[in-house]
Amino acid sequence: MPEIRSERAEGYPSLTAREHWRAYAKGMLTEVLFVLGLAAIGLGLAAIAMVIWG
Amino acid sequence: MIIRPRREDHLVIGKYTGKILVGVGLLMVVPLVTSVAFAEWDTALDFVISMMVFFIFGFGTQWACRTEKDLAWSHGLVVASGSWIWATILGALPHYLSGHEGSYLDAMFDVMSGYTTTGLYLIQDLDHISHGLNMWRHVLTYAGGQGIVVIALTFLFKGTAGAYKVYVGEGKDERLLPNVVNTARAIWLVSLAYLAVGTTALWLAAMWLGQAPVRAFLHGAWVFMGAWSTGGFAPQSYNTMYYHSVLYEVLVLIIFVAGSFNFALHWAVWTGKRREIVRNLETVSFAVSLTIATAVATFWLAKLGVYPDVMALARKAFYQLASGHTTTGFSTIYSRAFVTQWGPVGMAATIFAMAIGASAASTAGGIKAMRIGLITKAFFADIRRAVAPESALVRERYHHVRDHMLDDGVVRIAMGITVAYVTMYGVASLLGMLHGIPVIESVFEGVSAGSNTGLSCGITAPSMPWDMKAAYIVFMWLGRLEFMSVFALVGYGISAVRGR
């Protein structure tokens, strides 16, 4: 989001401006997907462990 | 050499400590309003008394320490660490007045555990405390996760030139934006956005599970605060096992792992650099060590046959390990199950995860994934140097928001802090052993306190010896502030008495 970055020099006059919220939502979604990816690894490890020892 | 502080130094430290105490006192408005809303008049009175004490100390100190001088670096460190002590001593009042604590030391333990986002607690009959007190427990852990100083920076400092020096003293040395006050506001923006979304999700999930709307909302807000701050406080003594729900556990997992991310990472991802989440050294290091710890615990538990199927094993193993690694301390097993079911290998995997912790400049504690990543990179760079031709120049880079050169200074600082943490873990473990507690349990509980995690194998209880309670308070404080500002406070105290 270059328009957000360009505001850095001006000290972010408004962090809560409406035009930023779409980028914020995408950021939050990216983080959620990352955590779900880690959880999927945990589930995969459990599946492998149960196949070997279960 | 430590220079003896002069009168002006005392004044500037007192002035800013007073400002921060007023900020913390203002937080009590939230539990006070909660108490009034639920007609808990005794609890409301406790908060009125406590707020008065905060304001008398806060405004009184500011008045007594009137000065135009601004903060120096050493002042900032002393203010940050000293504020946490005063905020703990005064913040324990509502706990103590509630009658749910065995002593004032127990009340201070719970408050320091809250501010430092540890999550260990000594409060008695947790399932029947008032809504107001429960709100205070969770507000103080949420505020502690943000950083007490960040609160004051946001609302009270108003762009003071020295504000950044207090901010660094609290262990948050990332500037997301050129202005430190705007950095504090950006941190709040991320946290409040997650608060709104996370609380709503947990509220709806709890209602779907059968809780009444008001109760579901309160639980949603409190569990969110405990999760986001990686604090681990929950409204029920069974912690998040109380809900017996995969959906609730997944929501909580998302919140506490997101809460453990560096605020600089949040800000980068939220402002368009979404690939940062898989490139950043901290998240890569965290993902690798979490996978290792989970693999060890999962394979061990499967071999023991503790859980009957894949889902049960994944739910218990990954949840506890992720909770431990993010230093949250939420659990979905009984405390003693670590000893009676997980055994030494399962506990060792959890200790490994807790000791490392999550990201710097986040709400999490522990050594931090960044430092482990830096030390690992430096180790492999040294190996490459050893096998490379003598004339070869081996340079190492790491990525954290942007590319950085891995120089010796960065590695030395990371090693220094890591050694300090390991030493603290050792002392905390030894203390338990001296009280006759088995080695693995002593290490588990000591690392949990020092890394601000809060998972317990059953040692932390009101019946715990007083010296362990006092020592754990210090370990939680040291771990949260990452030593430097605490050492500065100790140095200030010594030099005030006899330094030159």
For residue B133, the one-letter residue type is L
- Given A31, A43, A52, which is nearest B261 (Cβ)? A31
Mean pLDDT confidence for B48-67? 94
State the pTM of this model.
Answer: 0.90
Most A CBs within 10 A among B309, B313, B319, B362, hence the mutation to make, goes to B313
Mean pLDDT confidence for B385-393? 85
Cβ-defined contact of A4 to B302 (cutoff 8 Å): no
Distance in Å, alpha carbon of B454 to nearest chain A alpha carbon: 21
The tokens of B168 are what? 């660094």
Predicted pLDDT of residue A1: 45
- Bigger pLDDT: B70 vs B202: B202
Mean of all residue pLDDT scores within chain A: 82
- Does residue B430 carry a pLDDT above 90? yes
- Given A5, A11, A32, which is nearest B254 (Cβ)? A32
What interface predicted TM-score (ipTM) does this complex get? 0.89
C-alpha angle B473/B479/B484, rounded to 5°? 115
Q: CA-to-CA distance for B81 and B75, rounded, in angstroms?
A: 10
Predicted pLDDT of residue A6: 46
The tokens of A38 are what? 């880690």
Most confident of the following: B27-41, B156-170, B260-274:
B27-41
| 3 state SS for chain B | CCCCCCHHHHHHHHHHHHHHHHHHHHHCHHHHHHHHHCCCHHHHHHHHHHHHHHHHHHHHHHHHCCCCCCCCHHHHHHHHHHHHHHHHHHHCHHHHHHCCCCCHHHHHHHHHHHHCCCCCCCCCCHHHCCHHHHHHHHHHHHHHHHCHHHHHHHHHHCCCCCHHHHHHHCCCCCCCCCCHHHHHHHHHHHHHHHHHHHHHHHHHHHHHHCCCHHHHHHHHHHHHHHHHCCCCCCCCCCHHHHHCCHHHHHHHHHHHHHHCCCHHHHHHHHCCCCCHHHHCHHHHHHHHHHHHHHHHHHHHHHHHCCCCCHHHHHHHHHHHHHHHHCCCCCCCCCCCHHHHHHHHHHHHHHHHHHHHCCCCCCCCCCCCHHHHHHHHHHHHHHHHHHHCCCCCCCCCEEEECEEEECCHHHHHHHHHHHHHHHHHHHHHHHHHHHCCCCHHHHHHHHHHHHCCCCCCCCCCCCCCCHHHHHHHHHHHHHHHHCCHHHHHHHHHHHHHHHCC
Predicted pLDDT of residue B68: 80
Give tens-digit pLDDT for B121-138. 999 999 999 999 999 999
Predicted pLDDT of residue B104: 97
Distance in Å, alpha carbon of A48 to nearest chain B alpha carbon: 8
The tokens of B262 are what? 């560096």
Mean pLDDT confidence for B360-386? 90
Confidence of residue B173 (pLDDT cuts 50, 70, 90): low
Confidence of residue B435 (pLDDT cuts 50, 70, 90): very high
Closest residue in chain B to residue A20, using alpha carbons only: B271
Mean pLDDT confidence for B278-299? 96
Distance in Å, alpha carbon of A20 to nearest chain B alpha carbon: 8
The tokens of B437 are what? 């507690």
Mean pLDDT confidence for B275-282? 94
Contact (Cβ atoms closer than 8 angstroms) between residue B85 and residue B108: no
Residue of B51, B57, B113 lying closest to B83 (CA atoms):
B57
For residue B328, the one-letter residue type is T
Return the bridge partners of B404, or none. B398
Contact (Cβ atoms closer than 8 angstroms) between residue B119 and residue B454: yes
Q: CA-to-CA distance for B136 and B97, rounded, in angstroms?
A: 13
Q: CA-to-CA distance for B137 and B222, rounded, in angstroms?
A: 9
- Given A2, A11, A34, which is nearest B177 (Cβ)? A11
Predicted pLDDT of residue B148: 61
Residues on B contacting A at a C-beta cutoff of 8 Å: 177-179, 182, 185-186, 189, 193-194, 197, 250, 253-254, 257-258, 261, 266, 269-272, 274, 277-278, 283, 287, 290-291, 294-295, 298-299, 301-303, 305, 309-311, 313-314, 317-318, 321-322
Predicted pLDDT of residue B152: 57
- Given B193, B258, B290, which is nearest A24 (Cβ)? B193
Mean pLDDT confidence for B18-45? 94
Predicted pLDDT of residue A7: 46
Predicted pLDDT of residue B423: 96
- Does residue A5 carry a pLDDT above 80? no
- Per CB-CB distance under 8 Å, the chain B contacts of A1 are 271-272
Contact (Cβ atoms closer than 8 angstroms) between residue B320 and residue B337: no
Give tens-digit pLDDT for B291-319. 999 999 999 999 999 999 999 999 999 99
Give tens-digit pLDDT for B206-253. 999 999 999 999 999 999 999 999 999 999 999 999 999 999 999 999
- Given A24, A39, A54, which is nearest B318 (Cβ)? A39
Mean of all residue pLDDT scores within chain B: 90
Lowest mean per-residue pLDDT among A33-37, B151-155, B492-496: B151-155
Closest residue in chain A to residue B299, using alpha carbons only: A49
- Per CB-CB distance under 8 Å, the chain B contacts of A36 are 250, 254
Residue of B260, B285, B323, B203 lying closest to A31 (CA atoms):
B260
- Does residue B1 carry a pLDDT above 50? no
The tokens of B200 are what? 């709503």
Q: CA-to-CA distance for B367 and B385, rounded, in angstroms?
A: 26
Distance in Å, alpha carbon of A27 to nearest chain B alpha carbon: 4
Cβ-defined contact of B302 to A26 (cutoff 8 Å): no
Contact (Cβ atoms closer than 8 angstroms) between residue B71 and residue B16: yes
Residue B49 makes CB contacts below 8 A (sequence gap 6+) with B93, B97
The tokens of B98 are what? 């509630």
- Does residue B368 carry a pLDDT above 80? yes
Residues on A contacting B at a C-beta cutoff of 8 Å: 1-2, 4-5, 8-9, 11-12, 15-16, 20, 23-24, 26-28, 30-32, 34-36, 38-39, 41-43, 45-47, 49-50, 52-54
